[in-house]
């Protein structure tokens, strides 16, 4: 895993509206693997803050969301691959 991919996974994990399913879809990491990665890469205090923030949060789990049942928020995101807009 490259440093750029690692940074993007951490960024996605911190985002409230990005689900663990989206991280799995893009990078192949399950929720537990993301937690282990965050524990390894963040300072202990930052990890505790992140865990408290995401634990039980419905927006981090696709199945618990009461909105956005589709994977993409808008039609333009369907053509995005690896966080880059593909040529149309």
Rg (CA), the chain: 14
Residue at 46 is within a domain: yes
Domain extent at residue 33: 3-80
Residue 87 lies in a domain: no
What are 35-65's pLDDT values in tens digits?
999 999 999 999 999 999 888 777 776 665 5
Query: What pTM was computed for the model?
Result: 0.67
Give the Cα separation of 45 and 7 in Å (integer): 18
Average pLDDT of the residues in 59-86: 57
What is the count of structural domains for the chain? 1
Residue whose pair of structure tokens reads 């969301």 in the numeric block: 65
85 located within any domain? no
Model confidence at 13: pLDDT above 70: yes
- Residue 9 falls within a domain, yes or no? yes
């Amino acid at each position: 895993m490259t440093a750029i991919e690692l940074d993007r996974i951490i960024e996605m994990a911190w985002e409230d509206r990005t689900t663990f399913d989206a991280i799995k879809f893009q990078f192949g990491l399950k929720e537990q693997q993301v937690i282990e990665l965050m524990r390894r890469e963040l300072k202990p205090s930052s990890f505790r803050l992140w865990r408290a923030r995401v634990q039980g949060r419905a927006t981090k789990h696709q199945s618990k969301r009461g909105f956005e049942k589709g994977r993409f928020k808008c039609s333009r995101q369907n053509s995005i691959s690896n966080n880059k807009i593909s040529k149309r």
